[in-house]
């Protein structure tokens, strides 16, 4: 931690005594007395940022004017977008985004040696924890051997990646790896790593207390906001810069206050609450803003529920979804095994530094909205966006409307031809209530019997994701639904692929202690692994006969998952409609097996005596759940499961790796390759150039997510990435996923814009990663980009609203840059992806004056020139000239979304890592 060298802020350094411990801290009240402003009514989330300014004020990177700007924020109605330099305390990674980050650091070591520096200069200055959670895939399910078989396959597939990460753990300082099979990074962070108030020794050796803050290479880093830890997702490139001491350049954010009142009613869950919150905040518009939750309703909201709401901040578009420190925060820290002295320090620090939510907590907000939690109803969301909230009692008719519209939109309203798969007599087609001829259907024969699949058949039901598996109330609830269903003789439908993937081993501990794991096993929800699984797209293959039926008849298969993402093409290539639901509802839908069934009214099946069983018959009461949580979720369980969190099992301990300060890149590896970013890089930066006569690589619509731009899931042999691997003798069975191969730029370039559901409006009705090549013919986007690069033609991309929503994955920007795209022009950008584009040297630009890709009538045959970039200033407007295919010219104005002065330097250097690398090399010289 740098020593505070400021003059005015030195007075803010005080001593705090808590029990037997005394620590230094930076007092906001003392800063007020020093004349730096009135900070008394700042939201707690913003006070965390203010404290960061006080601690790092040096008169250069952070000045007293930066600190005074927070007081001005309060007097200006919660707005003062001044550029500040923010330094988080630590960095959190997962393996899908962490592997390419460590690849970059290894490549930077090669790069700095080439520039005359030393490899050891590339080292994290802040603590970094990488949790391996994205690798496990659900190949085996529904039986007692599923967990071990999936773990075995995980190691077979990913051993090259694990060897590389083990090298990084030995080569870099301040870098720890949590081995596979431990849990999901956000749940491990919430339950173990996070401290709410952090302590560290400064350069004088004195212990200093300060708020626990972090950035993470996963957008759901915000989950820890529920424990009053300020953290959010960034791309790997931004995280790497933060690790290496580069402050995060940001504007003082607006803070939207979300007032919660009342309490949840019987039959509703935290998932129902968060889906309503997502809908409300998306409608409000909070992209790039902090959201802070306050109000008397928090007195009735367990921390697990708060973490669920914080987790889905990316889904409502906010930078964070913050909850201030209060008594519930302390209770959770106690429950999860935190040190008693640390808990006492958290309370003392929060009360002393104005970050405690007491009865008198009344901050100023930029804007507010409110929700009476008593009005929340059971719900799901989908079929392809988290914000598409659907009350449970209208879920079935809403799905039927979706199918009808989809079929009519594609002019395929006729029922598909019925063809029998297998031997034996063909049963009569089952009428689907309200289907009106719009539902395709087909038949499957398996060892479990003959059955029909149709539009709406639920083929995946997965209890997955940190969002809900971190919450014992909904997990115990799911177990009780399974218990009651089992007692009545109900089971999952045979075509449903069921799975249970907890976010930490603690979940298994309390499910087993409650005897509920046996009940879950009995209806197919066996443990399949500890990791993200279905939520990240690692749902694994469906049974071949089910997959074949879906594809032969072009059926709309359905997944129901307790996750946070349901974007197109993410969950499974065989599933078109995906719904987010609470874990208890996931179990209920597995019993129903059909989205056309109204599970609030229709029978889920028959009991042992042939009587209809309804959802109300198996739904547990709030008291039943709370009593079991109180009995089985214990401090001792958390302490025992996290006692050796970095040790790993025998498989992890047996992983062998190389040693040395630089990595010995194995040339034969198809998982880890030395990236081209720093090869041949000179000691001095370049300049920003105008864009002249660029061709258009793609014209994309609204809500193009980072899943569309850089998918994480499986891919086929026919894709450019598949062809690349087959040329290197990799069998299709070993393709793994795009996410697992993010350490190989050759695979990831070929996977950019390769989502099976992406639609390039340059082509008529075509799904998938295609465009027009230089010859005007349809071709894969990768092949077209390489042809344009060979011809020396710059490229641009056009998009709609919320471009780059979703995951923080930096490969959405890296792939864009490596394809030769110089600028992306959209109606607006999601926060993380905009930052990632800048970090890779790609210029984000927004339409002005009501222009859009549609109003301009773009077909993709135009050429684009953008001037004014060679003299660009932050947020400057620049002229753009579009030569239409008929020879006419349209002139428009674009807003350049290079937001800060330091970002201009990043672009000049070709990216933030190039900027950091050159500066480190100069300091060595």
pLDDT, tens digit, 9 for 90 and up, residues 300-332? 999 999 999 999 999 999 999 999 999 999 999
Kindly give, in sequence order, each residue whose CB lies less than 8 Å from that of residue 616, ignoring residues fewer than 6 positions away. Answer: none
* Confidence category of residue 89, pLDDT binned at 50, 70, 90: very high
pLDDT in tens, 397-429: 999 999 988 888 743 222 222 222 333 333 333
* Cis preceding linkage at 843, omega within 30: no
Asked if 874 and 900 touch (Cβ cutoff 8 Å), the reply is: yes
Asked if 308 and 471 touch (Cβ cutoff 8 Å), the reply is: yes
- What per-residue confidence (pLDDT) applies to 573? 87
Average pLDDT over residues 893-915: 93
3-state secondary structure of 283: helix
Token pair listed for 250:
């940001």
Q: Measuring CA to CA, which residue among 247, 242, 305 is closest to residue 92?
A: 242
Kindly report the CA angle at 284 between 283 and 290, in degrees rounded to 5? 125
Asked if 39 and 71 touch (Cβ cutoff 8 Å), the reply is: yes
**Cα dist. 762→797, 859, 894 in Å?**
11, 5, 21
Q: Is 70 left (phi over 0), alpha (psi -120 to 50) or beta?
A: alpha
Q: Measuring CA to CA, which residue among 210, 256, 235, 253 is closest to residue 87?
A: 210
Structural element, H or E, at residue 722: helix 720-727
Kindly report the CA angle at 160 between 154 and 164, in degrees rounded to 5? 115
What are the start-end ranges of the H helices in 523-644?
544-552, 583-592, 615-618, 622-632, 635-641
3-state secondary structure of 116: coil
Q: Does 87-251 match 379-637 in CATH topology?
A: yes
Rg (CA), the chain: 27
Q: Where are the domains of the chain?
A: 87-251, 379-637, 691-710+752-909
Token pair listed for 203:
């350069």
- What per-residue confidence (pLDDT) applies to 179? 93
Asked if 298 and 369 touch (Cβ cutoff 8 Å), the reply is: no
- What per-residue confidence (pLDDT) applies to 5? 47
Q: Measuring CA to CA, which residue among 302, 300, 313 is closest to residue 227?
A: 302
Q: Measuring CA to CA, which residue among 367, 363, 357 is closest to residue 258?
A: 367
Written as one string, the DSSP assignment of 358-376 is: -TT-----SEEEEEEGGG-
Q: Measuring CA to CA, which residue among 216, 208, 162 is closest to residue 189?
A: 216
pLDDT in tens, 558-582: 999 998 888 787 889 899 999 999 9
pLDDT in tens, 2-23: 445 455 678 899 999 998 899 9
pLDDT in tens, 21-41: 999 999 999 999 999 999 999
pLDDT in tens, 665-716: 988 999 999 998 888 888 899 899 999 999 999 999 999 999 899 998 889 9
Q: How many CA atoms are closer than 13 Å to the CA of 897, on its beta-carbon side?
A: 26
Average pLDDT over residues 863-886: 96
What DSSP state is assigned to residue 39? -
pLDDT at residue 431 greater than cutoff 80: no
Q: Helix 912-924 and helix 901-909: axis angle, to 10°? A: 80
Asked if 635 and 645 touch (Cβ cutoff 8 Å), the reply is: no
| Mean pLDDT of the residues in the chain | 91
Token pair listed for 431:
């009428």
In the CATH scheme, what is the homologous superfamily, with its name and number, of domain 87-251? Aconitase, domain 3 (3.30.499.10)
Listing from the earlier edge strand, what are the strands of the sheet with 367-372?
A: 320-322, 290-294, 255-261, 367-372
What are the start-end ranges of the H helices in 735-830?
745-751, 781-790, 811-818
Asked if 368 and 258 touch (Cβ cutoff 8 Å), the reply is: yes
Asked if 85 and 248 touch (Cβ cutoff 8 Å), the reply is: yes
Region 691-710+752-909: CATH code: 3.20.19.10
The architecture that CATH gives domain 379-637 is: 2-Layer Sandwich (3.30)
What gap in Å lies between CA 314 and CA 537, rounded to an integer? 17
Q: Measuring CA to CA, which residue among 772, 783, 359, 392 is closest to residue 595?
A: 392
Average the pLDDT over each of 411-420, 640-649, 896-905 and give the range with the smallest value. 411-420
- What per-residue confidence (pLDDT) applies to 114? 87
Q: How many CA atoms are closer than 13 Å to the CA of 86, on its beta-carbon side?
A: 26
Asked if 360 and 326 touch (Cβ cutoff 8 Å), the reply is: no
- What per-residue confidence (pLDDT) applies to 924? 66
What gap in Å lies between CA 812 and CA 886, rounded to an integer? 33
> String of b and e for 72-88 (b: at least 16 CB within 10 Å)?
ebbeeebebeebbbbbb
What DSSP state is assigned to residue 767? B
**Cα dist. 833→27, 234, 242, 783, 907 in Å?**
35, 8, 17, 24, 15
Average pLDDT over residues 640-646: 93
pLDDT at residue 894 greater than cutoff 90: yes
Q: Which residue has the tokens 């993937």?
A: 501
- What per-residue confidence (pLDDT) applies to 591? 98
pLDDT at residue 508 greater than cutoff 60: yes
Give this prediction's pTM. 0.85
**How do strand 197-201 and strand 207-211 relate by DSSP bridges?**
antiparallel
Average pLDDT over residues 807-814: 86
């Amino acid at each position: 931690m740098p020593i505070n060298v400021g003059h005015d802020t030195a007075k803010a350094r005080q001593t705090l005594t808590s029990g037997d411990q005394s620590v230094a801290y930076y007092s906001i009240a003392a800063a007020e007395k020093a004349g730096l402003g009135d900070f008394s009514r700042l939201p707690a989330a913003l006070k965390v940022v203010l404290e960061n300014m006080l601690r790092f004020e040096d008169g250069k990177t952070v000045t007293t004017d930066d600190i005074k700007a927070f007081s001005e924020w309060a007097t200006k109605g919660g707005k003062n977008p001044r550029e500040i330099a923010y330094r988080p305390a630590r960095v959190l990674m997962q393996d899908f985004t962490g592997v390419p980050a460590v690849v970059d650091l290894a490549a930077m070591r090669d790069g700095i040696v080439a520039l005359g520096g030393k490899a050891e200069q590339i080292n994290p200055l802040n603590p970094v924890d990488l949790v391996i959670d994205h690798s496990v895939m659900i190949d085996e399910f529904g039986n007692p051997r599923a967990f071990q078989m999936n773990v075995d396959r995980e190691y077979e597939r990913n051993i090259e990646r694990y060897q590389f990460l083990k090298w990084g753990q030995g080569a870099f300082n301040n870098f720890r790896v949590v081995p596979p099979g431990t849990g999901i990074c956000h749940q491990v962070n919430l339950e173990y790593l996070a401290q709410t108030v952090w302590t560290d020794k400064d350069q004088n050796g004195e212990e200093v207390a300060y708020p626990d803050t972090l950035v993470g290479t996963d957008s759901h880093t915000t989950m820890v906001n529920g424990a009053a830890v300020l953290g959010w997702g960034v791309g790997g490139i931004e995280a790497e810069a933060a690790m290496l001491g580069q402050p995060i350049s940001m504007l003082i954010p607006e803070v939207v206050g979300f007032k919660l009142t009342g309490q949840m009613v019987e039959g509703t869950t935290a998932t129902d609450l968060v889906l309503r919150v997502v809908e409300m905040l998306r409608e409000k518009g909070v992209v790039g803003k902090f959201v802070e939750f306050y109000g008397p309703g928090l007195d009735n909201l367990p921390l697990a529920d708060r973490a669920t709401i914080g987790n889905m901040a990316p889904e409502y578009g906010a930078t964070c979804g913050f909850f201030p420190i209060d008594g519930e925060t302390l209770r959770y820290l106690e429950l999860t095994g935190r040190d008693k002295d640390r808990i006492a320090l958290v309370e003392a620090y929060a009360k002393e530094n104005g970050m405690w939510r007491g009865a008198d907590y009344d901050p100023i907000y930029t804007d507010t909205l409110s929700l009476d939690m008593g009005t929340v109803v059971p719900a799901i969301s989908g079929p392809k966006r988290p914000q598409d909230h659907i009350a449970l009692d209208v879920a079935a008719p809403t799905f039927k409307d979706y199918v009808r519209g989809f079929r009519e939109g594609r002019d395929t309203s006729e029922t598909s031809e019925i063809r029998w798969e297998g031997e034996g007599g063909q049963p009569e087609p089952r009428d689907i209530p309200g289907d009106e001829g719009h539902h395709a259907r087909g038949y499957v024969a398996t060892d479990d019997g003959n059955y029909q699949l149709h539009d709406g058949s639920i083929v995946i039901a997965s209890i997955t994701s940190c969002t809900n598996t971190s919450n014992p109330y909904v997990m115990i609830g799911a177990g009780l639904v399974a218990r009651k269903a089992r007692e009545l003789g109900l089971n999952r439908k045979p075509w449903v692929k069921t799975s249970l993937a907890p976010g930490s081993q603690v979940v298994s501990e309390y499910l087993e202690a409650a005897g509920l794991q046996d009940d879950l096993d009995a209806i197919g929800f066996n443990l399949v692994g500890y990791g993200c699984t279905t939520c990240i797209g690692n749902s694994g293959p469906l049974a071949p006969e089910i997959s074949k039926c879906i594809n032969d008849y072009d059926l709309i298969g359905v997944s129901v998952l307790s996750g946070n993402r349901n974007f197109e093409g993410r969950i499974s290539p065989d599933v078109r409609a995906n719904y987010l639901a609470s874990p208890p509802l996931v179990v209920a839908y597995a019993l129903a097996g059909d989205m056309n069934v109204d599970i609030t009214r229709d029978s889920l099946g028959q009991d042992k005596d042939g009587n209809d069983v309804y959802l109300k018959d198996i739904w547990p009461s709030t008291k039943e759940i709370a009593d079991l949580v109180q009995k089985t979720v214990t401090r001792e369980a958390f302490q025992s499961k996290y006692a050796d969190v970095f040790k790993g099992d025998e498989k992890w301990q047996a992983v062998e790796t190389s040693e040395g300060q630089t990595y010995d890149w194995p040339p034969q590896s198809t998982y880890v390759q030395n990236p081209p970013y720093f090869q041949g890089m000179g000691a001095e930066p370049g300049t920003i150039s105008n864009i002249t006569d660029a061709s258009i690589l793609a014209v994309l619509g609204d809500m193009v997510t980072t899943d569309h731009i850089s998918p994480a899931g499986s891919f086929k042999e026919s894709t450019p990435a598949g062809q690349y691997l087959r040329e290197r003798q990799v069998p299709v069975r070993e393709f793994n996923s795009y996410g697992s191969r993010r350490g190989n730029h050759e695979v990831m370039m070929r996977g950019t814009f390769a989502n099976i559901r992406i639609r390039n409006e340059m082509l008529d009705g075509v799904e998938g990663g295609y465009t027009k090549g230089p010859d005007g013919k349809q071709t894969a986007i990768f092949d077209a980009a390489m042809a344009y690069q060979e011809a020396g033609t710059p490229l641009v991309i056009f998009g709609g609203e919320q471009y780059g929503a979703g995951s923080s994955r930096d490969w959405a920007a890296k792939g864009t840059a490596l394809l030769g795209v110089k600028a992306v022009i959209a109606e607006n950008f999601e926060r993380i992806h905009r930052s990632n584009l800048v970090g890779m040297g790609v210029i984000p630009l927004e339409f002005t004056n009501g222009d859009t890709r549609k109003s301009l009538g773009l077909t993709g045959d135009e050429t684009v020139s953008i001037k004014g970039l060679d003299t660009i200033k932050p947020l400057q407007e620049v002229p753009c000239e579009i030569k239409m295919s008929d020879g006419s010219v349209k002139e428009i104005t674009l807003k350049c979304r290079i937001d800060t002065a330091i970002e201009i330097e990043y672009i000049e250097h070709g990216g933030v890592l190039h900027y950091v690398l050159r500066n480190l090399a100069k300091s060595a010289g």
